[in-house]
Amino acid sequence: MTSAASDSIPQKIGYLSMASLMIEKDLYALMGGMDDNLFFYHEDCDFGYKLKNHGYKYKVASKTKIIHIGGTSSFFNAFAYKEYFKGLLYVYKKISLTLHIFH
């Protein structure tokens, strides 16, 4: 349960969705932008992981309302499903390799 006052304070989150991301242009460039190996899907997970590894934290503004109109890129689309799983495997391997190197 949260109070009305805490609803207006940005809250830490464990996963970054780029559907409504606001980020400074310089920071985006510093992180190297998006990975060109990801056509679509999972680029937010990959980018969020890069931010976290560089010590940045991301938060959600809980009072902000975003309306996402669409969501039809994967609706009965074999190509989209293939890219979804291809990207998922790519990011998993990339993050797993990083974890094994640094831990």
Buried b / exposed e along 36-57 (16+ C-beta atoms within 10 A) = eebeebbbbbbbbbbbeeeeee
Q: What is the mean pLDDT of residues 42-55?
A: 87
What is the pLDDT, as a whole number, of residue 1? Answer: 38
Question: When comparing pLDDT for 84 and 5, which is higher?
Answer: 84
pLDDT of residue 32: 93
pLDDT higher than 80, residue 2? no
For position 74, what pLDDT does the model report? 60
pTM: 0.69
Higher-confidence residue of 75 and 42: namely 42
CA distance 34 to 87: 13
